[in-house]
Structure 1
Amino acid sequence: MSLNLFLIFLLASVAAASTGVIFKPGAWYDGLNKPGFTPTKWAFPVAWSVIYLLSAFAAARVALLPGAGPALALWAAQIALNTLWTPVFFGARMMALGMVIIATLLVTVSSLTVAVWQLDWRLGLLLLPYLAWLVVATGLNWRVWRDNPGASA
């Protein structure tokens, strides 16, 4: 694996993560009704840090494999969607649009996982925590949107 490639993918992940610093959940989100399966606050930065590291590592390894183009295109799409969700949901408080984005992100990461798995199943395994977290996050987005009518912008 090339360290430079890893750092490029990690930098893209840091850019995505920076939206969480700019658009914090804040009092608006704290005041919303949330389901019982909502993770504790400390779990979010821990989970995303692990996900971004594993995803960047997998992408850097996959980039060196023949036939990696579709997987890398899906990686680029998922990081763009990931970057977009936070300002839409927390910044603009558009929960319905956030739901569309996160559902699209879930489909994209599912497709990415399959594409990577086909190239190297061990690297595909590294994306399973991302997929699992997105299932929870998508359910959370849905329930927060459903359980808080009128709370969107």
Structure 2
Amino acid sequence: MTPSRSNRQKAFGLIGLLLLTFAAPAVSTFIPMTGEWYDSLQKPSWNPPSWVFGPVWGLLYTLMAVAAWLVWLRTSVTRPLVPYFVQLVLNAVWTPVFFAAHRVDLALGVIVALWIMILVTMLRFFSVRAAAGWLFVPYLLWVSFATALNFTIWRLNS
């Protein structure tokens, strides 16, 4: 049964989910993404330039929040949103593990767990509202690419 929400509640729900979703990467703003350590790593030729990551992640976080909002609009319980919040935590954890702790190996474990939780979230979202599931596809594709990149950097620098 779809809960009845006022337009004001819907708007606050969207704003809240956008703020919460963008809070995950906010943790990373205090961690330098470049520096001697990162610059010294061997990277594959297909490693994107640094400027690509900001716009891509900005778009992905927006799509994620809208997907979660679409699910929230349709459900009276938050159970379908649990994996969403778990993947947000994993998303927030990856950057400090990789860039601050310089643990490319542990970051690989985190990103694999993140990929699994994105898939679980996407499947749950599809079961509630197809559009929400589809909004997660670019995120899964990007994290698949990021996982391959993390793995390759680990292999090149082991």
Q: Same fold (TM over 0.5)?
A: yes
| Cα pair distance change 1:136/1:57, threshold 3 Å | same
Contact kept, 8 Å, 1:117 with 1:124, in 2: the verdict is yes
Matches within 5 A, 1:49-128: 49-66=58-75, 69-128=78-137
Whether 1:20 and 2:31 are equivalent positions in the alignment is no
TM-score by length of 1: 0.91
The CA deviation string for residues 11-38 of structure 1, in whole angstroms up to 9 with x for no partner, is: 1222212233211222211221111221
Q: Which ranges of structure 2 fall in alignment gaps of 5 or more residues?
A: 1-6
Matches within 5 A, 1:37-52: 37-52=46-61
Whether 1:9 and 2:17 are equivalent positions in the alignment is yes
Identify the range of structure 1 (137-146 vs 60-69) with the bigger mean alpha-carbon deviation. Answer: 60-69
| Cα pair distance change 1:67/1:106, threshold 3 Å | farther
TM-score by length of 2: 0.88
* SS of residue paired to 2:113: helix
Identify the range of structure 1 (4-13 vs 90-99) with the bigger mean alpha-carbon deviation. Answer: 4-13
Instruction: Name 2:3's counterpart in structure 1.
Output: none
Q: Which ranges of structure 1 fall in alignment gaps of 5 or more residues?
A: none
Percent identity, aligned pairs only, is 32
Note the C-alpha offset of 1:69.
Answer: 3.2
Task: Give the RMSD, CA atoms, in angstroms.
Answer: 1.5
Distance 1:117 1:92 in 2: 36
The match for 2:141 among 129, 132, 144 is 132
Count of residues in Structure 1 that have an aligned counterpart in Structure 2: 149
Distance 2:150 2:71 in 1: 31
| Cα pair distance change 1:65/1:97, threshold 3 Å | same
Q: In the alignment, residue 31 of structure 1 is paired with which amino acid?
A: S
Q: Which has the larger radius of gyration?
A: 2
* SS of residue paired to 1:39: coil
